[in-house]
A = this chain, B = another copy of it.
Amino acid sequence: MLYLVGMGLGDEKDITLRGLEIVRKCERVYLEAYTSLLSFGLSNNALSTLEDLYGRPVILADREMVEQGMEQILEEACTSDVAFLVVGDPFGATTHSDLVVRARKMGVEVKVVHNASVMNAVGVCGLQLYRFGETISIPFFTETWRPDSFYDKIKANRQLGLHTLCLLDIRVKEPSIESLCRGKKDYEPPKFMTINTAIEQLLEIEETHAESAYNEDTSCVGLVRLGSEMQKIVSGSMKELLTMDFGPPLHCLVIVGKTHPLEEEVLEFYAMSKACINAENCRN
């Protein structure tokens, strides 16, 4: 049996009782390190905190293992109970549908333990979840690669008055270009996109397209470290948020669509001007 267990957003205490029960009875426990590196700040210390709580050794499954080596995990799951822990929900921003399909082709039964993910926890900012349109991902621009397929999606959402959740790039265990040339694997340090970089890139693309999907006065909400004790929510125009230091990862951004009065009241509560006066109030 393969158990896909969501760990939620904050730390090791965000696992559910059901999830913990499963982890404790599994013969092998893997933790997807790809996103957890950043969101759980998985130093060796944090890993042993996890292991202490779970009472099981936890094997880090890094990005390469997940992309290439899941065969091993799937084979183990044919004959024993294996838990694969995922930050957030197993079907959140990063999907594990391919894993489910491959498992089932091998005759491995799969059970899922759901948990919170950015896709639903973003509702904490006071915007109604059912008024969100398509979610977009904003990748890091490079000198030569400045993809802008998100622009039309934001535009379509805004034309319908819908909010847009922007997931910001995370780069973990990316082989450096030099190392690829040398044929030896060397990794770049982990890198996460800030709300500031996201807004800069968004405004650059608006300038190129000039179709008025949004502008620097467009209302947005910045959410950082969602679901953790260090969570912060700040609303303001793109121009305003651009000047703010949001601190450590992870960051995400919502481009606000048409709002109704209750939504406006909550956004007002998180307004940047107030946030600076009383930072405590920004935390939930």
Residues of B within 8 A of A263 (CB): 97
List of B residues within 8 angstroms of A91 by Cβ: 120-121, 123-124, 129
A178 contacts partner chain B, Cβ-Cβ < 8 Å: no
Copies of this chain, complex-wide, total: 2
Q: Which of A15-23, A30-38, A72-80, A203-211 contacts B (4 or more CB under 8 A)?
A: A15-23
Does A276 belong to the interface (CB within 8 Å)?
Answer: no
Contact A227 B97 (CB under 8 A): no
A136 to B160, CA, bound (A): 14
A-side interface residues, number (CB < 8 Å): 60
Q: Which residues does chain B contribute within 8 Å of A128, judged by CB atoms?
A: 95, 97
**A residues within 8 Å of B by Cβ?**
6, 8-10, 12-18, 20-21, 53, 89-93, 95, 97-98, 100-101, 104, 110-112, 114-117, 119-121, 123-124, 126, 128-137, 156, 160, 162, 167, 227, 262-263, 265-266, 269, 281, 284
In the assembled complex, the CB of A111 is this many whole angstroms from the nearest CB of chain B, namely 6
Q: What separation, in Å, do the CA atoms of A167 and B284 have in the docked complex?
A: 27
User: Do A126 and B114 form a contact, CB below 8 Å, given A10-B18, A16-B13, A119-B119?
Assistant: no
* Set of chain B residues within 8 Å of A112, measured between Cβ atoms: 124, 284
Q: Are B134 and A131 in contact (CB under 8 A)?
A: yes
